[in-house]
Structure 1
Amino acid sequence: MQQTTARLILRPPMAEDLARLFAIYGDPATNQFNPAGPLTDIHQAENLLDGWLRHWDKNAYGQWAIAAREAPEHVIGFGGIALYNYLDVERLNLGYRFDAAAWGKGFATELGTTALAHAFKELEAEQVFALVRPSHLASIGVLEKIGMQRFSELDDVPGQPQSLVYIARRT
């Protein structure tokens, strides 16, 4: 299901998005806070995209492909609400990753606000979580700006500082 915001088009991903997914998720700049690092080959991107498509088929929601309204054919990022395993607990998770050229323009805040509204109004979710690395100050700022609050920590990356867990609750 496609959504629009003041500046963005949010649509389900398609097989044709593979090259942009690999370009964004394979870029070292977009992975500077990702302990796993960037994707290194197209097959990793195919597996990621296949998982997103299966999530959409099963749940009728998931990660969106994101484009600016002024250039709807050019995907600038991926993000939204999807089920995600926090170690052994499945949670509704807000996540996003934007092309470095799209940073600093408020797109993550716009996406996050819309994704939370979708989760609470359309999916009738009671709560949405987000994971963030403790050194990723820009993403922490986005999560706090959209009303998420620090909830706990998760020791999900061996040998690294614990991830911060944020939560938003339906009001």
Structure 2
Amino acid sequence: MIETARLRLRQWQTEDYAPCAAMSTNPQVMEYFPKQLTRAESDAMIDKMKSIIEMQGWGLWAVELKHNQQFIGFVGLHDQPTQFSFSPCVEIGWRLDHAYWGKGYGYEAANAALDFAFNHLQLEKVVSFTTLDNLRSQVLMQRLGMGKVAEFQHPTLSKDHPLSWHILYEIRQSDRIK
């Protein structure tokens, strides 16, 4: 478990399934993802994230508010060994419920995840990527100190898909020390 001033990044719990499924059907939250998720797809995603954390001790953690244990989304690290031209790499990612946008929670949780990546896992570099139009995520990447590296077509989306073009950011451990 990772704690910040206001948040707890932790393993997934049974109580997280319903609010995560609701978040995964919100058109605002899912605007830059290929599709909204069904309840079964959301549950399967959580099962996979939970299993990865159990196996390696880190991953995409559920995020809750410390003061009331309210689930607000997920933030964390995901190993990308082969999928991309820039693999192997570790990606930092996030998805917060719309009600919690604009409060600094994404930055707070992602910053804690980067601290974990560099101080605990001793990674040299962490990447993040999003669609070209997802300016909110790009602003967060920049605020975290990440720099733009390249644009690329996502390998799992068809070339004519409206979300196929992505932008890649990265941050190195040495960038965090400055």
Q: In percent, how many aligned pairs have the same letter? A: 26
In the alignment, structure 1 residue 168 sits paired with structure 2 residue 171: yes
Please list every run of at least 4 consecutive aligned residues from structure 1 whose deviation after the TM superposition is greater than 4 angstroms: none
Q: Tell me by how many angstroms 1:131 deviates.
A: 1.1
Counterparts of 1:125 and 1:109, CA distance in 2:
19
User: Which residue type is aligned with residue 80 of structure 1?
Assistant: G
The residue that corresponds to 2:79 in the other structure is 83
- Do structure 1's residue 12 and structure 2's residue 42 form an aligned pair? no
Q: Could you tell me which residue of structure 1 aligns to residue 149 of structure 2?
A: 151
The whole-number CA distance in structure 1 between the counterparts of 2:4 and 2:55 is 25
Q: Where in structure 2 are the equivalents of 1:15-164 lying within 5 Å? A: 15-34=14-33, 36-39=34-37, 41-72=38-69, 74-84=70-80, 86-87=83-84, 89-156=87-154, 157-158=157-158, 159=160, 160=162, 161-164=164-167
| C-alpha distance in structure 2 between counterparts of 1:8 and 1:16, whole Å | 17
Residues 104-148 of structure 1 show CA distances to partners (whole Å, capped at 9, x for unaligned) of 111111111111110000011111111111111111111000101
For normalisation by structure 2, the TM-score amounts to 0.88
Q: Which moved more, 1:120-129 or 1:8-17?
A: 8-17
Aligned mates of 1:58, 1:9 — CA distance in 2? 20
CA distance in 2, matches of 1:111, 1:86: 25
- AA in 2 matched with 1:98: L
Contact 1:55–1:61 (Cα < 8 Å) also in 2: yes
Cα offset, 1:46, TM superposition: 1.8
Where structure 1 has 5 or more consecutive residues not aligned to the other structure, the ranges are none
Structure 2 runs not aligned, ≥5 long: none
Q: Secondary structure at the match of 2:129?
A: strand
Q: Distance in 1 between matches of 2:145 and 2:123?
A: 16
The 3-state SS of whatever aligns with 2:41 is helix
Distance in 1 (CA, whole Å) between partners of 2:92 and 2:36 is 20
Q: Following the alignment from structure 2 to structure 1, what is the Cα–Cα distance between the partners of residues 84 and 169? A: 15
Whether the 8 Å CA contact 1:24–1:99 is kept in 2: the answer is: yes
Q: Distance in 2 between matches of 1:62 and 1:15?
A: 17
